Amino acid sequence: MNDISPEYFQFHVRTEEESYNLDAVVMRVGSDWLVSIQGGEKPHIGAVAAAQSRPSLKGAEVVSATASVLCFPGHKEDVIAKEVSEKLASLLEARVVVTAGIHWDDISSEGIQRVIENSRILISKIADKIRS
């Protein structure tokens, strides 16, 4: 049926920082990837980004990515969904769809920055897990 091991086919990663930790469920869909990022008190889907790898405008030897983003009204996860999808698409040279839904009541601007930093940690954790 499928020659990819179940662990490789679908897995979970989590940041383990002091605060504002994020979870991601990652699934391989053929040669593409689907990533769902959640965090906070009320996980949901606030934004969706779909990215595809492509040769960089700086030169064909560099892989880049471009993304399209849909953000539901009143949500701000589009920045995270776009960045994660583009970084993973260029690293994996694949199409990547990311959903993001993160919510903490009364989060400070420092807390928002920590969430963004944690989303970047997720990128590394996801890439490392796929490569291993």
Give the model confidence (pLDDT) of 82-128 as tens digits: 999 999 999 999 999 999 999 999 999 999 999 999 999 999 999 99
With 0-12 / 13-18 / 19 or more C-beta atoms within 10 angstroms meaning exposed / middle / buried, residue 101 is buried
> Which pLDDT score is estimated for 74?
93
Secondary structure of the chain: what % helix, strand, coil (to 5)?
Answer: 30, 40, 30
Give the model confidence (pLDDT) of 9-67 as tens digits: 899 999 999 999 999 999 999 889 999 999 999 989 999 999 998 877 777 778 889 99
Opening angle at CA 13, ends 7 and 15, nearest 5: 160
Domain at 6-82+98-131: CATH code: 3.30.230
Query: Can you give the residue ranges of every domain in the chain?
Result: 6-82+98-131
pTM of the predicted protein model: 0.89
